[in-house]
Amino acid sequence: MASRKDLANAIRALSMDGVQKAKSGHPGAPMGMADIAQVLWCDFLNHNPTNPKWSDRDRFVLSNGHGSMLIYSLLHLSGYALPIEELQQFRQLHSKTPGHPEYGYTEGVETTTGPLGAGISNAVGFAIAEKTLAAQFNREGHDIVDHFTYCFLGDGCLMEGISHEACSLAGTLGLGKLIAFWDDNGISIDGHVEGWFTENVPGRFESYGWHVIADVDGHNPEAIAAAIEEAKSVTDKPTMICCKTIIGFGSPNKSGSHDCHGAPLGDEEIAAAREFLNWPHAPFEIPSDVYAGWDQKEAGTAKQSAWEAKFEAYKAAYPELAAEYERRVIKGDLPADFAEKANAFIAETQAKGENIASRKASQNTIEAFGALLPELLGGSADLAGSNLTLWSGSKGIQDDAAGNYIFYGVREFGMSGIMNGISLHGGFINYGATFMMFMEYARNAVRMSALMGIQNIFVYTHDSIGQGEDGPTHQPVEQLANLRLTPNMSTWRPADATEAAVAWKAAVERQNAPTSLIFSRQGLPAQARTAEQVANIEKGAYVLVDCEGTPEVILIATGSEIGLAVASAKALEAAGTKTRVVSMPSCDFFDAQSAEYKESVLPAAVTKRVAIEAAHTDFWYKYVGFAGGMVGMRTFGESAPGGELYKHFGFTVENVVETVKKLG
């Protein structure tokens, strides 16, 4: 039977070998945290390598994702579908062992952790999802949702601002099933951190409301196990276990130094480490007794089987709840009648024809859809009254763990990272809101959502210079283009209440990627539409106003500028110019349509085109061509009432008509 030391040294050896073969990577953190990982994974972690998607598994997050050989070693050794050949292809094209852990590439990797601090914020999201789901589904004697979230993180994660935002909220919410391990090795890429990181980390987390276990020897299995036992016993607070470790433990000449942080150890040093660790095995060679000591397949299958027996008893006692759990958590299906009822609401909205701000139209849609979707979990970064994200059924989880709304406070970045964790956990469709300008604070987490291909609904209001008096600091200009250019991100900017409802439906149904919904502060006029036009909204762009015969010019607009486009078309028609107005609330949905449909909306023969949008103009060349016209923003905004700004920046019928005339 292999000893704990041998089990931990297997991680060290694989990490040294993988990085050395790739000639790049970070061996120091995996070698330093190997003892902690061995105790956690062998003695505490409830998981099943034969079914990585078992819904009540513990979640493990490697927030210091540069140490990715740690998680790849753990997955391989414990029995996941990650053969040794994949570890030998570390950081190579199309391998399942990329440079940083990536969700969807490797079974058992719960989230993509490249940017430091992202993982701990995701872990907070996992823990929120577990606590809320447990409150919604568990009944006395039937704890079918009962798992922990464990997170490894390093000094870099703690320096990043997102960790402050997310961990502060975690303490406020009392997430007792969240246990974090700080790899306190005192090293970052530039060297010893005392020159730039001297804060009292235990004191910081105590001030957040965490339970803190300080001064744990990260190379003492008994001390590590005792700390985990203590952490699990504290049910009303998240726990931070502060583990003092030696980076690159086992490397005789480079351990404790930044020399082993982000570079291979080198053949000579690896040979010395093998001798120091008493590991006389060839690269990537693991003895059979070590594999046997790590193998979790049988134990994991037994744990899942025990849970399935509990679930059968739950199903007998609460058949409706069990069916809902299977739909939401295990299958991830929408309610069977969602599409039908959503379409009915869209038709009703069109019939009403209300002239309201699209942010208010969004709230009306949340009100309608919230009643249809018990899995809807909303939130806002301290702007609920402006974003209009609350609805009559909203219940804050800080007051009722079974609620459906998170008051994130002024934490746009933390909110977005937490949303990623909630989505990855499963069981919820979550939305989070802020002013569109403050997407900039959250940009990295929004990008990670798109990179992972997970469902999030980002609600961004106050979408243009129409924000008005708050001035250019609050008026987005380049952000729409930013979102539209992000791969896998769907972006909608609705023109009125009907388009807002369609956009929400599209976001709810888009389960494999995120959606950004962009809404106005100012009121927007309702547009008249036929049933066919309403149906075509979901195609991303459609002909809203047409002329007799072939158009001479096409005006393309979105959101609050659709009203201007329609008024300009009337003026152009009166002057004898045949004009078509195309509403394009979602460029990416339109781009995905058939060539025939796109030609029917934007005929190639009609080359005179003008794009109208209170955002940066450069994005629109793909639709109007370099010979086309633009009515948009080429500068930052100004501070003044929104109506005055629209005139100042040329969003007038006169300027649109003049722009068309200049096309010849």
Q: How far is CA 90 from the centre of its chain?
A: 25
Q: What angle do CA 114, 118, 120 make, to 5 degrees?
A: 125
How far apart CA 64 and CA 119 sit, in angstroms, is: 7
Question: How far from each other are the two terminal CA atoms of the chain, in whole angstroms?
Answer: 85
Q: 187 a known binding residue?
A: yes
For residue 518, the tally of other CB atoms under 10 A from its CB is 32
> Is 74 flagged in the annotation as binding?
no
Supply 371's token pair. Answer: 């009643």
Rounded-to-integer distance, Cα 83 and Cα 130, Å: 31
- Taking the C-alpha atoms of residue 41 and residue 71, their distance in angstroms, rounded to an integer, is 11
Residue 115 in tokens:
């940017």
Q: Which two tokens stand for residue 629?
A: 């016209």
Residue 280 to residue 277: CA distance in whole angstroms: 9
Known binder of ligand: residue 258?
no
CA distance 101 to 63: 10
* CA pair distance 137, 318, nearest whole angstrom: 10
Q: Which residue has 């942080």 as its token pair?
A: 261
Q: Is 219 annotated as a binding residue?
A: no
Active site residue 412: yes
Is 649 marked within a binding site? Answer: no
**Residue 394 near residue 405, CB atoms below 8 Å:** yes
Whole-angstrom distance, CA of residue 287 vs CA of residue 436: 55
Contact by Cβ (8 Å): 132, 397:
yes
- As a whole number of angstroms, the distance between CA 241 and CA 214 comes to 6
As separate numbers, helices (DSSP H) first and strands (DSSP E) second, the chain gives: 27, 20
Q: Counting Cβ atoms within 10 Å, is residue 225 exposed (0-12), middle (13-18) or buried (19+)?
A: middle
Residue entry with tokens 């089990």? 7
SS3 label, residue 184:
strand
Q: Residue 26, annotated ligand binder? A: yes
Q: For helices 28-39 and 68-78, give the axis angle rounded to 10 degrees.
A: 40
Would the annotation count 386 as a binding residue? Answer: yes
DSSP string, 65-86: GGGHHHHHHHHHHHT-S--HHH
261 is in an annotated binding site: yes
114 annotated as ligand-binding: yes
Burial of 374 (0-12, 13-18, 19+ CB in 10 A): middle
Active-site hit among 165, 412, 499, 561: 412
Q: Which helix (H) or strand (E) holds 33?
A: helix 28-39
**Tokens (6 digits) for 200:** 């009292």
Going by their DSSP bridges, the two strands 429-435 and 376-380 should be labelled as parallel
Q: Is 100 annotated as a binding residue?
A: no
Count the Cβ atoms, other than its own, within 10 Å of residue 53.
10
Q: Does 462 belong to an annotated binding site?
A: yes
Instruction: Check whether 474 is labelled as a binding-site residue.
Output: yes
Among 408, 402, 386, 404, smallest CA distance to 394 is for 404
Alpha-helical segments (H) within 353-383? 358-370
CA distances from 532 to 149, 317, 392, 526 (A): 48, 47, 32, 17
Assess contact for 488 and 516: CB atoms under 8 A: no
Q: Does the annotation list 428 as a binding residue?
A: no
Q: Is 115 annotated as a binding residue?
A: yes
Closest to 162 (Cα-Cα) out of 382, 397, 416, 405: 416
Mark the binding-site residues for Mg(2+), compressed into ranges.
Answer: 155, 185, 187
Mark the binding-site residues, compressed into ranges.
Answer: 26, 66, 114-116, 155-156, 185, 187, 261, 359, 386, 438, 462, 470, 474, 521
Mark the binding-site residues for thiamine diphosphate, compressed into ranges.
Answer: 66, 114-116, 156, 185, 261, 438
> Looking at the annotation, which residues are catalytic?
412
Mark the binding-site residues for substrate, compressed into ranges.
Answer: 26, 261, 359, 386, 462, 470, 474, 521
